Structures are given as C-alpha cells and as structure tokens.
Amino acid sequence: MNRITGKTKEATLIEMSNTQHSRIEGNGSIDAVSGRRIQLPGHMEIDKFEQNRDSVYFRDGIRRIDFVLSYVDDKDGDKKAERRREFEANLERAGLELETEDKSGSDDRKTHYLKIHAPWEVLATYADVLKIKVPFKESDIFPKAQEGPQEWFARPFRLPDNIMTPEPDYFTATFDNSKLDFFLIEDKETFFPPSTRNRIVYYILTRCPYYKEDRLEKDKTGIKRLLNNGTYTSAYPLHDCRYWKKSKDMQCESERFHLYKNWARFLCFYKEQPLNLIKKYYGEKIGIYFAWLGFYTEMLFFAAVMGLICFVYGVLSYEDNITSKEICDSEIGGNIVMCPLCDKKCSYWKLNSTCLSSWQSHLFDNEGTVFFAMFMGIWVTLFLELWKRRQARLEYEWDLVDFEEEQQQLQIRPEFELKCTHSRLNRITQEMEPYLPLSSKCASFCLSGATVLFWTFLIVASVMGVIAYRLAVYAAFASVMKDSSTSKIQLVGSLINPQLATSVTASFINFVTILVLNFLYEHVAIWITDMEIPKTHLEYENKLTTKMFMFQFVNYYSSCFYVAFFKGKFVGHPGNYTYMFGKWSGLRNEECDPGGCLIELSTQLVIIMAGKQMVGNVQEALLPLLKNWWGSRKGRSHPECTYSRWEQDHDLQNFSQFGLFYEYLEMVIQFGFVTLFVASFPLAPLLALFNNILEVRVDAWKFTTQFRRPVAAKARNIGAWQEILNVVAILSVVTNAFIVAFTSDMIPRLVYLYAYHPGSKATMLGYIENSLSFYNISQIPFDNQPEPEENPSWFNRSTFTTCSYRDYRHPPGHEKQYTHTMQFWHILAAKLAFIIIMEHVVFVVKFFVAWLIPDIPSEVKARIKRERYLVQEYLHNYEVEKLKIQLSHSFSFCTETASLLPTSPNKHKVLSQVI
C-alpha cells in the first residue's frame, strides 16, 4: 500500500480545507469565499426553537457532534478569547466544522458550548494517518459452534446476540484514502463509528496550534494546554442517549442504554459482559480492562472455593486440635507461668489465658494451609496463562494483532514534541524527529530515582513508627488490662486482650497512614513522570505504572511483611532481650501473639484489604454520584427537550487519563493480597470474589451513568500490568513458602510428631511443654522484671521459680543453659528444606503448565493466517482489476486517438508517441 507520513497528510488536508472550510452559525453555513449563507443540499432548515436539544446532531439534524468544547467568560476574557479565535480558526483550516451554542441558551447562563463535526474528508484523511482498520468484505470464517449439552446450562448467563455481537464480522484492512472503492462504504456518515470519530477529532485537537500563522510558538499547541490555562473548561465526546431510555432519534444507536440495561445494573451480576459492545462504545483500551477484570473474577471463583474448603477443614478438625486442648486445660496450660512480654508494665501470665486465640489460630494454621499455599502457586500460573489465551482471542476478534507495530510511531506525545528542542534523523523513516539528549535523560532519571527512594524510605519510616507505637502501647494496654477490666463488656469482653487491642489499633493507624501517603505520592509520581518527558503514550503509562506500583507495593505490603517475617523472630530471651533502637529506648522487640503470628497476620490482612475495598467503593461510586447530583440540580427541573445532550454530559464527571490506571492499580494490589499472603488467610480469595462481583458492576455503572464518555483508545493488552502480575506470581510462591515455614507452627508440629513425640506412637500429646523453654525468675535482670504492683494476685515468687517462653533452649542448670537445643536446629533445617522443596515443586509445576498451555490458541493462529492470506488475495485481485480498468481506458483512448488521425505512412509512429 502507498503510505505517506502523518505530517504530510495533515499538511495536505489543511491546504485542501483552506478553500473549503466553513463556520457553522445557525441553521446553515457561511461560505468561506462569498460570505453568503448556504444550505446543505437535500435538507430543510430547522427552527432551533422547535428542535429537541437532547440530540447528538448539529442544528441541521444531519451532521453528528463528534466533540464538544465548553468555556466561560471570566476576568481574563480578552486573552482567552484571542486564544480561542486562533484555535478555532486553525481547527477550521484542518477541515473541522464548528457550531456554537451561546451562553444565553445554556443552563447556567455562563457556559458557551462549541460543537465539532468531522466531515468525511477529514475522517478519511486521518483514518489513513492513524492506520485505522475498516471492513472490506464480510467474513466467511464462522465461529466454532457451541456444543449443545452445555447450551442449556449457560443460557441463564447469556445476553441477547444483538448485545453480544452488535456488528457483523468482517475482514478488515488498513484504511487507504486512495482505495475507497475497495472498502464496504455504504454510507459515509456511518462508516466510521462514533468511537473512531471522536478518537480522530481528539487527535486533531491535541495537535492543533492556537498561534497565528505568521508566528511560530511551538508551546502554544493542543487542547490540553488550553484546558490547563482555563481557555476551555472541558472537552469531551457525547454519550449517544440518556442511560435509562433510548434516544428518540432513530438514527442514534442508543448503545449507552443497552449497556446500562444489560451490563451496568447490579441485578445483572451473574450475566456475561457484552465485551464487543463495550469495545464498540468505549474503545479497545477500556474493553480489554473489563475483559481482564471479568476473567480475573471468574478465576477467583475456583480459588475462593478451595480456600473455603480449607477453612471448613479447619472448623471440622476443631475437636482434634490437641495443642489447643492442652493450652486450655487447667492442669496443663493453667500451671504454666509465662515470662513477661514487655519490661516493667507486663506481668507474669498463665498460658491458658490464650485459649481462645489458639483455637482461632487453628482455623487458618492447619494441615490444609500447606496444600492451599501450593494450590495458589499453581492457580496463579493457570490464571496468567489462560488470560494470555483469552487476550490473544480478543486481539484477533478486535483487529489488534498488528496494532503495536503499526501504532508505535504514531503514539508520540504532543508534550514530547513541544519540549524537545533537539532533532535528529530517523534511520528508518529518513525524516527529522525530536529527541531527548542523553544528558537530559540521565538528569531526569537521577532526580526521579532519588524521589522514589525518598518516598520509599518515608514509608519504611512510617512503618517503623507504627512498630514503635505497638511496642509503647502494648505495655500501656497490658497495664490497663491486668485486672481484665474489659471482661465485663457483653459479647466482646472476653475477646479483648492487650495483644488484640494493640494489633487492631496499629492496623487501623497503618491503614490511615497508607491512605495519606498514597494521596500525596500520586501527585509526586505524575510530576516526576511528566518531568521525564516520555516519548510515547505507552512509555508514559509504563513509567507511571512502575513508579506507582513500586510505591504502593511497599506502602500496602510492608506492614504485612513485618508481621509475617520479622515480628517475633529477633526477640532474644529472658536476660538477653533485643531492643528496637538499643536498650536506651526501652522498646523491646515484639513477640508474637500467644496464639502465633499467623493469626495477627490474618488480622492485619483483613483490616487493610477490607478497608481498602470499602474506601475504594465509596470513592468510586458515592463521590461521583453526589458530585453529579449537585452539578445537575438545575438541569433536572428543565423539560427534556431543552436540557441539551452536551449540557447533560457537561454535568457529569470527567474521566481523566489516569482513570483506567487507578482501576488497574486497585485490582493488582488486591491480587497481591490474594496471592502473597494467602497462606495466612485462605478466605482472602472469597473476600476478593465478593468485592470483584460488585466491582465489575460498580465500574460499569460509573462508566455508563456518572462519567462523560471517554475518548476511545486502542490497546492490544493490559500493558505493563502483565509483567507486574508475573513478578507478583513468582514472589507469591516464595512468600507463602516462608509463611508456612516461619510464621506458621506447622513445621515445628510436624518435627515433634515424627521425631520428638513420646512413646512409640506418633502423637501431638506433650507438644506444648516441648515447645517452651524455661528461665530462672531469680536471674531475670531488674530492668526486665515487672513492677511489683503489676503482678497478678496469684503470683508468688516462692511458689513459682521459673517462667516459660517460646523457644528451644536448654533449661537453667544445664551445662549449656539458655543456648539453643538440637531440636531448634532440626526444626530450622526442616523449615529450610520445606521452603526448597515447596518452591521447586511449585515452580516445576508452574513451568510445566506454562509450557503445556500455548499463549495463542491453535484455532486463533489458524484464523489469523487464513485472514492474512485472504486479505492479501483480495488486495491482489483488487489491484489487478484496477490495473485492467486503467489499461482498458488507456487502450480505448488510444483507439479513439488513432481513429481521429489522418491516414498517412507516419500514422503508427504518431500513435506510438501518443501511447
């Protein structure tokens, strides 16, 4: 195909439109040369007072509104008006047609609206520039018929065919303005769908200057700068109708109504998503997000079922928990005196006081935990591999197979072109292009890296602050609750203890800190990414994605990593405790909850995960609803015919360029909670499943009812998020192996069961006493001893000479007293062996599954090859037929010329010269 560069096309279009453009002012148009009003051929003038303003057409009822700009008059009116005049004049030179709605007809009597229409010549030229694929022949490759026996089961979950497949399947080829008769163009006004039209117009808007022709000010370019400096207040394409009812105009598609009825309502939560209609209305980029979210939710169902089975196993094996029975037994746990958990304010306590927490811990810390951790390692691989297959199928169905290669050079950001003062020759295109010098790249990279590191250290500092809070407050809670003053509280009194109070309050403080740091860092990340001046939109998104995820990874998961892998691991032992900032601080390192650190990790996970989901749903649904209700309070009192379509959409919330980014980020952070720490809380996939069922419909409702229509954009995959998910998947195997080995008590129990049990029969009897070490109370340093008034009434130094603590050390009086026993090293070896075995088993299965499941289904590969073959064949036949016609015309012309020549000996010589 014959291709020319985008700039050449645009220049050609501007030159062509200089003699043809017209400014629409009312019912007709003004001829650019004569200045007389002209009437569109074949159309009657429409009285604007009789016209229904709830329409997506110009006042002539024919030309579609492809984009709307709004502005208000303010104190800088003259300066902004000058910018608008130049900008709109340049838009007209680019071939766009404009129509203005004065503020006197607007709802607030302040806002002007500029409606933009792209005629066929503009659409055809820029479709060629943007290499948009369009149909040229109806497809003869029919989809595989669904099997009959499954049809009855799937029928309740299906949507009507006209919703699932809103348009026929065609063979498509890149649009070429010189081959119009090759494509299936029945009606030029409807050939390009509204999503393609608004994408083309937005492309023009972002590159159109607002300086005069005789002045070259490169920075004065694009609608984004005009929005930033307040020249225009908003820019948006229109929804095609109100969401709760169809448009009265029969030419209007009413796709928004169909999306609301079949997708955005919560009652449709069990129905499949109309992905083809979503793609057609919002564009491929939003369509691929909802396809991924829906697939992720489907896969969560299997993880949730397995997690629920593991939890039920923990409940059913409740009575077989010998360890908890020994703790609760007044003759065993009631006679074991434990050493103080903090200095001065913490007293001696009996092991049976942790009876309830030990039972709670058993619900998550049982034999099913190991199986579920391994299952999730395989599940995450299946999820990622099957998503690649689903994504490949969507790429084929949505004509995105060759998108990346074709669009790479077309995605240059206007900001890059404006801020780069240097240019160089592109070796491929042999054209001059802007570029950023290496020195500038290094400077921005260093500043960006330093900023990210600073904020990462700030998160670590905040986590350490929360840890210090836990250490300081635990002693206070222990002192306040020493007489069980909360036990009189009905229902929950018996559940409250110093450990639980400290853990819950610290988790909430940590969650609030996370929200505050997120809010601040979002602005910083955008600022430093803008400063780096990425060349393409894809590069910009990838840089921002990496920065935001790195920050949120540390922000959300650091406290969970602390509880899982650091808390209780570096405590020391009585007489030789370890302190956080040195002994002078008085902040002794935390010990695990008497029930183990796993139950505390579960508490931390539930609070942060559930809290994030609740806050996210409020931000996504409630805030836009309240803002839109307040913004449209005047328009609701107007008759439907006078509350215009552009005003209705103006009252909605703007969908920013980062809107989809935050949706992905929210789900990927949730994916991290579900996979990284799932061994500590098997119900996490179930909570995520319930949230995502709601999330799909909330996002659909928000897009359809609360936000302006986004500018359509293409994307063939989920971008940098795919690699992030792969990294999280690999890391999840490691974290879950370490959680089972070091956070759970599974390995120590198994070592005792098979190596240290009393008698000849494997049993867990006596495990509690075996897992505790003893220390001589008289040898405890004065600084570590509780104050006399803190000791409980039952404690008597003459009666109790030793206290117990969780560790494997030799007892007092032994020749190696207070040093680790051989059992400690056996357990440590078993933990390391378990980590190595589990990781290798899961990774081998992961790689085998990844190898076994091809990324692209064989059926899709065959269809892609066949379609490419047919496209080449049809193009070849088209070129041959075109050449035949040209030769036929040439031959006819030569024959006519020869017949007109006089008979002479030189007739053939003259004819050959003509040819």
pLDDT tens for residues 683-723? 999 999 999 999 999 999 999 999 999 999 888 889 889 99
Q: Which helix (H) or strand (E) holds 906?
A: none
Q: Is 26 left (phi over 0), alpha (psi -120 to 50) or beta?
A: left
Pairing of the two strands 23-24 and 97-101: parallel
Q: Can you give 114-167 as a three-state secondary structure string?
A: EEEECCHHHHHHHHHHCCCEEEEEECCCCCCCCCHHHHHHHHHHCCCHHHHCCC
Give the model's pLDDT for residue 491: 36
Task: State yes or no: pLDDT of 12 exceeds 60.
Answer: no
Terminal C-alpha separation, the chain: 27
Distances from the Cα of 821 to the Cα of 330, 505, 755, 810, angstroms: 28, 37, 14, 6
Identify the residue with better confidence: 739 or 9: 739
Q: Which of 260-269, 401-410, 575-584, 654-663 has the lowest mean pLDDT?
A: 401-410
Cβ-based burial of 847 (10 A; exposed 0-12, middle 13-18, buried ≥19): exposed
37-38 vs 23-24, strand pairing mode:
unpaired
335 CB-near residues (< 8 Å, 6+ apart): 350
pLDDT at 914 over 60: no
| pLDDT at site 701 | 93
Residue 747 has pLDDT above 50, yes or no: yes
**Ramachandran category for residue 131: left, alpha or beta (phi over 0 → left; psi -120 to 50 → alpha):** left
Q: Is the pLDDT reported for residue 27 higher than 80?
A: no
Q: What percent of the chain has pLDDT over 70?
A: 83
Asked if the model's pLDDT at residue 48 lies above 50, the reply is no
Q: What is the mean pLDDT of residues 771-791?
A: 86
- Maximum mean pLDDT: which of 19-28, 176-185, 497-506: 176-185
Degrees to nearest 5, angle at CA 224 with 218 and 225? 50
Check pLDDT > 90 for residue 827. Answer: yes
Q: What's the rounded mean pLDDT across residues 728-749?
A: 91
For 87-108, the pLDDT digits (tens) are 999 999 999 999 999 888 887 7
Spatial contact of 394 and 275, defined as CB atoms under 8 Å apart? yes
Instruction: Spell out the residues 6+ positions from residue 302 whose beta carbon is closer than 8 angstroms to its own.
Output: 379
User: Could you give the percent of the chain with pLDDT greater than 90?
Assistant: 27
Q: Who has greater pLDDT, 441 or 841?
A: 841
Q: Residue-wise over 678-705: b if at least 16 C-beta within 10 A, else e?
A: bbbbbbbbbbbbebbbebbbbbbbbbbb
User: What is the per-residue pLDDT for 687?
Assistant: 92
pLDDT higher than 80, residue 137: yes
Residues near 529 by beta carbon (within 8 Å), at least 6 away in sequence: 448, 540, 543, 544, 547
Give the mean pLDDT of 349-369: 85
Per-residue confidence band for 161, with pLDDT thresholds at 50, 70 and 90: confident
- pLDDT tens string 513-555: 888 888 888 888 888 888 887 877 778 888 888 888 888 888 8
Question: In this structure, what token pair is assigned to residue 405?
Answer: 């290669």
| pLDDT average, residue stretch 900-914 | 54
Local confidence band at 729 (pLDDT 50, 70, 90 cut-offs): very high
Residue 260's nearest CA partner among 645, 712, 705 is: 705
- Check: pTM over 0.95? Answer yes or no: no
Question: Mind listing the pLDDT tens digit for each residue in 225-279?
Answer: 898 888 999 999 999 999 998 888 877 888 999 999 999 998 888 899 999 999 9
Q: How confident is the model at residue 446 (pLDDT cuts 50, 70, 90)?
A: confident
The predicted structure's pLDDT at residue 323 = 86
The rounded distance, in Å, linking the Cα atoms of 832 and 854 is 34
Residue-level pLDDT at 342: 82
Q: What's the average model confidence in pLDDT over 488-512?
A: 64
Q: Please say if the pLDDT value at position 179 is more than 60.
A: yes
- pLDDT for the residue 632: 67
Q: How high is the pLDDT of residue 14?
A: 41
**Cα–Cα distance measured from residue 559 to residue 608, given in angstroms and rounded to the nearest whole number:** 10
Question: In this predicted structure, what is the pLDDT of residue 260?
Answer: 95
| 206-220 average pLDDT score | 74
Mean pLDDT of 315-343: 86
- Residue for token digits 């289904």? 857
H or E segment to which residue 83 belongs: helix 77-93
- Reply yes or no on whether the pLDDT at 32 is more than 50: no
Strands 29-30 and 37-38: antiparallel
Average pLDDT of the chain is 81
Does pLDDT of 800 surpass 80?
yes
In terms of Cα–Cα distance, which of 54, 48, 7, 50 is closest to 28? 48
Return the pLDDT at 75. 73
Q: Is 164 exposed, middle or buried (0-12, 13-18, 19+ CB in 10 A)?
A: middle
| Buried residues in 368-378 as b, exposed as e (16+ CB within 10 A) | bbbebbbbbbb
Residues with Cβ within 8 Å of 608's Cβ and at least 6 positions away in sequence, in order, are: 507, 510, 511, 514, 556, 559, 560, 673
pLDDT at 488: 41
Tell me the C-alpha distance between 379 and 657, whole Å.
33
Lowest-pLDDT choice from 152-166, 230-244, 427-441, 543-557: 427-441
